Structure 1
Amino acid sequence: MSPEFTLTAGGYTAVVTAQAAALRVLQFEGRDLVVPFAEGGPIPDYRGIIAAPWPNRIADGKYTFDGVTHQLAVNEPERGTALHGLAFPLEWTMKEHDAGSVTLTCTVGPTPGYPFVLEVAARYVLDDAGLHSSVTAVNAADAPAPYGVCPHPYLVAGPSPLDEWILDAPVATFLEVTPDRLLPIRLAPVEGHEFDFRSPRAIGATEIDHAFTDVAFDGGLARVSLRDPAGTGVGMSWDESYTWLQIHTADKPAPIPSRIGLAVEPMTCPPDAFNSGTDLIRLEPGATHTASWSIYAL
């Protein structure tokens, strides 16, 4: 069984697993703020993982970087893509742990399709204001490396159905995608579209599995809030390293439980950025990249 680490502070409890450095549990005064998963088992739907060195999908698992074409394993065969990076299957190593914090590390690569080497650290800290997290990647090799990252929590506002949750998301543009493979087509404004949640309103029956950009930052942070009409809620904020946001209403075919949480995934780059180059981070030898986010009760 993979080790896990429990953090407590200010009415909050978090459990982080060594597998994937995943956030397995986050509660405030006993109330779930994220969809949890069972101890010791597989991680369903990539819940709580760190997606690195790319978030979302790479079409056909194939990309060209600095003139060299690479072929990754296709781990989403139904869509023919390489999904959510290479860090999630790994058992991360605990470097520091106390009552309110944990730091986990792993080495990504070299591996077929990604002949680069990154040293990656994920840090989780709990305090009275919630859970504060960051991922730092260092290029440990002698050649530039393509890089992107995102966290993958499924937020829970409260006991009401997701359709009744009230979403406030400060994003003005969304990425249209192919219906079969969820690969990029074009950017479109949310103005006048069912994806416009710039003013708080109920999600309703809207199905979302899209990336958004033109994120509004205030004082260096962007903030999403998700509120239950019963009076509870959850918020997430992130820094300007993340200029994209994936939102997913977790729709599943029967009899699988559907729409049990809202995936809110700040991303440094959009889907298939290894091919498009859009906001792709070029991590030079010895260079470091850090991106941070927080989750808190409302």
Structure 2
Amino acid sequence: MARTPLSGTQHALRAGDYEAVIASVGASLRSLTYGGRDLVVPFDADVVRPSYRGATLAPWPNRIVDGTYSFGGRDFELALTEPTRGHALHGLAGWLDFDAVDKGPDHVTLEAVVEPQTAYPWRIVVTTTFELGPDGLTQTVTARNESTEAAPWGTGPHPYLVAGEGTLDEWILELPAAQVLAVTDDRLSPIDLEPVGQDDPARFDFREPRAIGSVEIDHAFTGLSRDADGVATVRVTDAAGRGVSMTWDAACPWVQIHTADKPVPAESRLGLAVEPMTCAPDAFNAARYSYDAGLIVIEPEQSATASWCIAAIG
């Protein structure tokens, strides 16, 4: 019997000039190409997935500060999966092995269960479909609460987009966000919302497309401009105008942008993380903040759905 790769069962998809591979561990987008060029930073099948690259984040995206929260009159304490900053990072589904419940040449539907546990005592069935088509790769995530009590919920993806030629510093970013969430320098803990042009527009204001430059970003943005259908679009392109876009609807009022700065130069700034989110960082502690953190509460036997799409430009 062939050994399963470290990133899990591999699901290869193809439609037209698009090809994608989905790894079952974390329902992770392992690679996505258009005409042979990368649209996301890929990783090899037989490695432990690096840096949540391409993972499906659930039942929360981003951070829960100190790993503690209160819900339904009870206090909970999560494992600190980001120990250097002292937070619970990116949910509980990132290392679950998702089973394929439907598959075709251009799509796959994966499913896993977040079982009740001390710090998150709800049973959530997470179902996600990846589908390639003329407009790119669409991922849809649905959570169903199979508990007897309401459950807090949030989700989002974690791709690192690749524009094409040149370096991240040279790529052009268009980010239609009017507000950025200020965070502490040391732990990235949320403070408050600020206009993107208030204190450091060179770092945060990309409402007009321009080069990313040398700025370092690891922040959540909101106040998104949308088209007539309610769709927000982030575009990352190279000097030749080729690149990649990511779109999503009102189910995700937030997006995390991260320039992927790493201590090792060869591993740093390989792609731009663009993470649409149904809720803000630390949304499980929404009552702490003056703004709407967007926490979703799923009632028993009810569901919540969100989706996004990655497509080639040029």
Q: Same fold (TM over 0.5)?
A: yes
CA distance in 2, matches of 1:284, 1:94: 26
Aligned to 1:152: 158
Of 229, 234, 243 in structure 2, the residue corresponding to residue 224 of structure 1 is 234
Aligned to 1:82: 88
Aligned to 1:95: 101
Aligned to 1:196: 205
Kindly indicate whether residue 223 of structure 2 is the aligned counterpart of residue 209 of structure 1: no
Aligned to 1:241: 251
Deviations 1:11-64 (A, max 9, x none): 000000110000000000100000001112111010100110000001111100
Kindly indicate whether residue 161 of structure 2 is the aligned counterpart of residue 135 of structure 1: no
Amino acid at match of 2:13: L
Aligned to 2:58: 52
Q: Which moved more, 1:190-199 or 1:55-64?
A: 190-199
CA distance in 2, matches of 1:96, 1:145: 27
Shift of 1:232: 1.6
Aligned to 2:285: 275
Kindly indicate whether residue 306 of structure 2 is the aligned counterpart of residue 297 of structure 1: no
Q: 4+ residue runs of structure 1 moved beyond 3 angstroms? A: none
Shift of 1:137: 0.3
Query: SS where residue 163 of structure 1 aligns?
Result: helix
Aligned to 2:272: 262
CA distance in 2, matches of 1:180, 1:89: 26
Identity %: 52
**Which 5+ residue runs of structure 2 have no aligned equivalent?**
288-292
Aligned 1:66-81 pairs, distance under 5 A: 66-81=72-87
Deviations 1:111-170 (A, max 9, x none): 220001101101000012210110000101110000000111000000210001000011
Shift of 1:256: 4.6
Deviations 1:233-255 (A, max 9, x none): 10000011000010000001134
TM-score norm. by structure 1 comes to 0.98
CA distance in 2, matches of 1:47, 1:105: 19
Shift of 1:259: 0.5
Query: SS where residue 51 of structure 2 aligns?
Result: helix
Aligned 1:166-177 pairs, distance under 5 A: 166-177=172-183
CA contact (8 A) 1:221 1:237 kept: yes
Shift of 1:230: 3.1
CA contact (8 A) 1:166 1:202 kept: yes
Shift of 1:276: 2.1
Q: Which moved more, 1:97-106 or 1:216-225?
A: 216-225
How well do the aligned residues superpose, as a CA RMSD in angstroms? 0.9
Shift of 1:220: 1.9
CA contact (8 A) 1:160 1:230 kept: no
Amino acid at match of 1:243: P
Count of residues in correspondence between the two structures: 298
**Which 5+ residue runs of structure 1 have no aligned equivalent?**
none
Shift of 1:109: 2.2
Query: SS where residue 45 of structure 1 aligns?
Result: coil
TM-score norm. by structure 2 comes to 0.93
Aligned to 1:29: 35
CA contact (8 A) 1:25 1:35 kept: yes
CA distance in 2, matches of 1:251, 1:178: 17
